[in-house]
Amino acid sequence: MPNTSSVSTINNYVQFLEACIGSKSLKEGKIIHQRFLKVDGKDLGTPSLVLDKLTHLYISCKRPQLAHRVFNSIPIPDRKNKTILCNQIIRAYAWDGPFKKAVDLYYEMVDSGVKPTKYTYPFVLKACSALQDVETGVKIHGHAKRLNLDNDVYVCTALVDFYVKCGCLLEAREVFDEMPERDVVAWNAMVSGFSLHGMCWEAIGLVSEMGQRRVEANSSTVVAILPAIGEASRLREGKVVHGFCLRRYFEVDVVVGTGLLDMYGKCGQLRYAWEIFGALPLKNEVTWSAMIGACVSCDCAEVGLELFGKMRIEVGHSPSPVILATVIRGCAKLNDLYIGRKIHCYTTKLGFVSELMVCNTLLSMYAKCGSVNESMRFFEMMQVKDSVSYSAIITGRVQTGYADEALRMFRKMQNVGVEPELATMMGFLPACSYLAALQHGVCGHGYSVVRGFTEDVSICNALIDMYSKCGKMDDARHVFDKMSHKDVVSWNAMIVGYGIHGLGREAILFFQDMQNEGQKPDEVTFIALLSACSHSGLVNEGKHLFLIMTKEFNIVPKMDHYFCMVDLFGRAGFLDEAHKFITTMPFEADAHLWNSLLSACRVHKNIELGEEVSNKIQSVGPTSTGNFVLLFNLYTTAQRWDDAANVRIQQKVLGFKKKPGCSWVEVNGIVHGFVGGDWSHQQSAKIYKKLEELGKEMKRLGYRAESDFVYQDVEEEEKENILLYHSEKLAVAFGIISLQSDKPIMVTKNLRVCGDCHTALKYITIIAKRDITVRDTSRFHHFRDGICSCGEFW
C-alpha cells in the first residue's frame, strides 16, 4: 500500500498534468513526464493514474504515437480496463495518421484482452477507409458481428461510410438496408457515397426516399449531394436544392454556400456563383478556391486570376495547394506560359512544389501550353510520379503533335509499374488514332474492358475514334452498338468516321438513325455530315443538310459549316458557286476558308481565280504555310517559276516554314516514321531497293511520273527521283518488306497525299497483290486492285 507521501506526489502529478491537458501545454507536459521518469517514477512504481493522464495529454496535443507508447507502459491488468483511453488513441490515429497505427492498436487491444466497444469500430473503420484497406475492413466487420454490434446505428453508419469510400457500393447498400434504425447521419453517408462516385440519380433518389420516410435532410445532406449534381451538370436539380437551402436558411452557412457556388460553376452558371459568393457573410479558403475554380471552368480564367490576386490581399495567409492547382489550370486554359511560370516560382517559394497534385497540374500546364521540353524536364525532376503525372505528359504529347513520344511514355509508365487509369487511356487512345497504331489501340481496348473503363461513355467514344482512324469502321460500329449509353459525341464520332472513309451515304443514313433514336444533333453533327458529303461528292445532299440545319434544327451556321460547303463545291469543281457562296456569307471569310477555295483552284488549275483568292488571303492575313504552298504549287504547275519564287520569298519574309511531309506505318506493334528522301531508317537500303524494283514494274504497267507534283525547276529525271522517294512511298515499301504477304498496309501521313503517290499506289496494289490504306489529313484512301475508294474526291 502506497504511503501518504506517495499519494500526495501522485496527486500533484495528476493536478499538473490536468492543467497541461486543459491548456494543451505540450512543452510543460514533457518536462513533467521527464521528471516523473527520472526522479519519482522509481519511488512511485508505475502508478496507472499518472500514465493515464500522460496519455490524455499527448492525445490532446495531437501526439498519438507518444500517447501510444505511454499507454503501452501501463501494466496489462490495468490496461484491460482502459477501453476508453485506447479508443481515444485509435481515434487520434484515424484523424491525423499514421492510419496503419490505428489498425495495429485495434489488434493489440483485442490480443491483450481489451474488449472493443461500439465506439471503437467507427474510428478503426475510418482508418481502414483512409488506407483503402478493404480486406482488413471486412475482417473488422466480422469482429463487430461476433460482438452483436452490427445492428448498432453508429457502427453500421461507420460500415456504410467505410464501404462507400472504398468503392464497395453494393456492400454499403446491403449494410444500410439491413439497419434496424437509420438516422440522418446514416442516410448522409449513403448519399455521400453515391455522390462521391458520380452516381447523381442514385444520390437524388436516396434524398427523395429520405423525405418519404420522414427523415429530414440537413445541411450535411445538401453538402453531400451538391458535388454529384455539379459533376452531372444537372442545373434543374441544383436549383431545387438551392431552393430547399433558402427555405431552411442553409445558404448563409459557409460550407453550404461554397457547395452551391461550386455546383453552379460546374453547371456553367457563373452569374449565380458570383451572386452566392458576394452574399456569403463569411468566406473561407475553400470558398475562394471554389469561386476561382468556377471562373476557370466557365472559360473566365482571366477573372479567376484577378480573383486570386484579390484573395491574397484579403485573406492574408499563403494559399493552399488546391488553390494553386486551380490557378495553374487557369494559366493552362489561357495558354499563358508567362503567368504559369510565375505561379510555378511562387509555388516553389511556398514549398508546395513537392505536392503531387500541384506538380501534376504544373505538368499539365506546360504540356497544354506547348512547352514540351519544360514539361519533360519538370517531369524528370519529380521525385514521386503517379498515373496522373504520366497521363498529363501523354495527353500533352498528343496535343502538341508528338503522338509517337506519347506511346513511348505509355510503355515507360507500364515498365515502372504505374497502372494506367481511365484518364491515361483518354490520352493514350488519341495517340493511337493519330498514328493509326491499330495494334496498340486493340491492346488499349482490351485493357479498358478488363478494368471496366468501357462503362464510361468517353472511353467508348475514344475507341470509336481510334478504330475509325485506324481504318476499321466495322470495329468502330461494333463498339458503338455495344454501348449501354450513347451521347451526341458517340453519334458524331461515327458520322465523322463514315465521312473520312468516303462513305457519305452511310453517314446520312446514320444521321437518320440518330434522329429516330431521339438523339438531338448539334453543330458538330452537321460539320461531320457536310464534310462527309464533300468527300463523297454529294453536292445536292450537302445543300439540303445545310438548309435543314437552320430551318429544322435552329442551328446557326458558323465558319466551319461555311468552310465545309466551300470545300464541297470546290472538290466537285463548282468554283464559281463556291466563290459566290463566300461573298454572300453573313460575316467576313477568314484565311482558312479562302484557303479551301485556293486548294480547289490548284486541283482544277484555275490560275486566274487562284490569284484573286490569294490576294484575299493576303488582305485578311495568312495563318499558315498552307496558303503559300498552294499558291506556289499553282504557279509551278503553270511553270510560272518567277511567280513561284516570289511566293517563297514572301513566305520566308513573313516567317512561315513549310512542314515536311511525314508518314507512319505500324509493323508488329512498333510505329516507324519516314520523311521524304530520308535515309535514317536502319533498313533504308532495303526500302530504296524495293522502291526501285516497284518503279520498274510500275513503268512496265504504264505508270508515268506526274512531274507536276515536283515544285522545283529541275530536270525531268531528278523530278522522277524526288517523287519516287516521297514519305508515303517509303512507308509502303517498308510495309511490303516487313509484313507477311497477306497482311494489308496502313499508312498515316501528316499532309495530303500527292497526286503522283495516289496514282503510284494504285499500281503498287496490283504488283504487290495486297491492300494499301493511306490516311492523310483529309480522308482515307483504300487502294485495292488498282482502284482507290476516294473516287478522286480528295
454: amino acid identity, one letter:
T
pLDDT for 76 equals: 75
Domain range annotation of the chain:
662-788
pLDDT for 195 equals: 87
Alpha-helical (H) ranges within 97-199 are 99-111, 121-131, 134-146, 153-165, 169-178, 184-196
pLDDT for 713 equals: 41
**Do you know the residue count of the chain?**
794
In the numeric block, which cell numbers belong to residue 650? 514572301
pLDDT for 793 equals: 63
SS (HEC) of 550-589? HHCCCCCCCHHHHHHHHHHHHHCCCHHHHHHHHHCCCCCC
DSSP structure class, residue 455: G
H/E stretch holding 780: strand 780-784
Instruction: Print burial letters for 508-528: b (CB count within 10 Å at least 16), e (below 16).
Output: bebbeebeeeebebebbbbbb
Q: Tell me the pTM.
A: 0.72
pLDDT for 711 equals: 41
Instruction: Print burial letters for 31-42: b (CB count within 10 Å at least 16), e (below 16).
Output: ebbeebeeebbe
pLDDT for 44 equals: 56
Quickly count helices (H) and strands (E) in the chain: 44, 6
515: amino acid identity, one letter:
Q
User: In which residue ranges of the chain is pLDDT below 50?
Assistant: 1-2, 708-720
pLDDT for 780 equals: 92
pLDDT for 141 equals: 95
Helix, strand, coil: what percent of the chain each, to 5?
Answer: 70, 5, 25
Cα–Cα distance between 381 and 388 in angstroms, integer? 15
| 482 class by beta-carbon count within 10 Å (0-12 exposed, 13-18 middle, 19+ buried) | exposed
